């Protein structure tokens, strides 16, 4: 690890609180976008976004993850930081005021910096600190936890996906160390559906426990992902059963945070699975 001259920040209190229970924390997805793959356009109106956040919290969401730019792997249209902020400004503060920790799902350091100043507690970077050169610095300056997701520009069916994920995380952790982000503020996300074939996404879920060697919490977001439709042909909104199956297995393999569009059903599934395991 490379030393930094910045004083080491204190561990952020939000992660220990979220990870203290035996059942994984549940992160509810709130897309204020017109073009996300599953729910694009449903919550772009601020009043509908706020109502959805309230509903997810009532259903048991421990975190609300707000994203204002679609990051779906195929066909997403990039937008400027200013357009992303225009979508977030009417919503973020209102959602923060509801009391649940809020994560900002953005790959732009300027957007993440604004959101953290506005009350978001967690940065969620789908490029694992490796795409925007200012991201690690912003996260370190705010002392915020960061979700480091594995990603690739394109899928390569010839690679060993677990080796690729591990090498990616090693690079991300080096960038984090250089910036002064303590490992205790880092969550790893294998990036189900991002830069992977459907089979590689399933391999990442099946071999998730290999990532425990990093000694860091793991987040899994398999909700409504394309690999489910390759097993049982279906549209995104018809993949609840597959999403729950993937998330229960992910929890069994070590995931400590589950990111989902369907909060109530996921909370129920995780709690029932844990109750059964407790009696085993």
Output the pTM of the full model: 0.93
Reading phi first (left if > 0) and then psi (alpha if -120 to 50, else beta), residue 215 is in left
pLDDT of the residue at 6: 46
Measured CA to CA, the distance from residue 12 to residue 28 in angstroms comes to 21
Measured CA to CA, the distance from residue 193 to residue 230 in angstroms comes to 12
Neighbouring residues of 18: CB distance < 8 A, sequence distance ≥ 6: 25, 62, 63, 101, 257
Measured CA to CA, the distance from residue 77 to residue 70 in angstroms comes to 7
pLDDT of the residue at 93: 97
Domain-wise residue ranges, the chain:
16-71+79-278
| pLDDT in 10s for each residue of the chain, 280 residues | 333 444 445 567 899 999 998 999 999 999 998 855 455 557 778 999 999 999 999 999 999 999 999 876 666 678 999 999 999 999 999 999 999 999 999 999 999 999 999 999 999 999 999 999 999 999 999 999 999 999 999 999 999 999 999 999 999 999 999 999 999 999 999 999 999 999 999 999 999 999 999 999 999 999 999 999 999 999 999 999 999 999 999 999 999 999 999 999 999 999 999 999 999 8
pLDDT of the residue at 73: 65
pLDDT of the residue at 219: 98
pLDDT of the residue at 5: 42
CA distances from 118 to 85, 126, 254 (A): 11, 21, 32
Q: Give the CATH number of domain 16-71+79-278.
A: 3.20.20.20
Point out the residues that are catalytic: 225, 259
pLDDT of the residue at 3: 36
Coil, helix or strand at residue 102: strand
């Amino acid at each position: 690890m490379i030393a930094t001259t910045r004083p080491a920040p204190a561990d952020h209190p939000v992660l220990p609180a979220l990870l203290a229970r035996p059942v994984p924390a549940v992160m509810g997805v709130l897309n204020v976008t017109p073009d996300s793959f599953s729910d694009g356009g449903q919550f772009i109106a601020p009043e509908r976004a706020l109502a959805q956040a309230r509903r997810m919290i009532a259903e048991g969401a421990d975190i609300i993850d707000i994203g204002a730019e679609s990051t779906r792997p195929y066909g997403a249209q990039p937008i400027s930081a200013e357009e992303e902020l225009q979508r977030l400004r009417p919503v973020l503060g209102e959602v923060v005021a509801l009391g649940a920790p809020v994560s900002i799902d953005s790959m732009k350091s300027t957007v993440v910096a604004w959101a953290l100043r506005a009350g978001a507690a967690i940065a969620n970077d789908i490029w694992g600190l490796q795409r925007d050169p200012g991201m690690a610095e912003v996260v370190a300056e705010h002392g915020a936890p960061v979700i480091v997701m594995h990603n690739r520009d394109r899928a390569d069916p010839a690679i060993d996906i677990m080796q690729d994920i591990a090498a990616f995380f090693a690079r991300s952790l080096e960038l984090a160390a250089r910036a002064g982000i303590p490992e205790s503020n880092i969550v790893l996300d294998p990036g189900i559906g991002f830069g992977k074939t459907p089979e590689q996404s399933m391999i990442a879920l099946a071999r998730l426990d290999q990532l425990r060697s990093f000694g860091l919490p793991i987040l899994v977001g398999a909700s409504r992902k394309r690999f489910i439709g390759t097993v049982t042909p279906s549209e995104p909104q018809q993949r609840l059963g597959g999403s729950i199956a993937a998330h229960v297995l992910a929890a069994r393999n070590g995931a400590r945070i589950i990111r989902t569009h369907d909060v109530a059903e996921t909370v129920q599934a995780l709690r029932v699975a844990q109750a059964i395991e407790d009696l085993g």
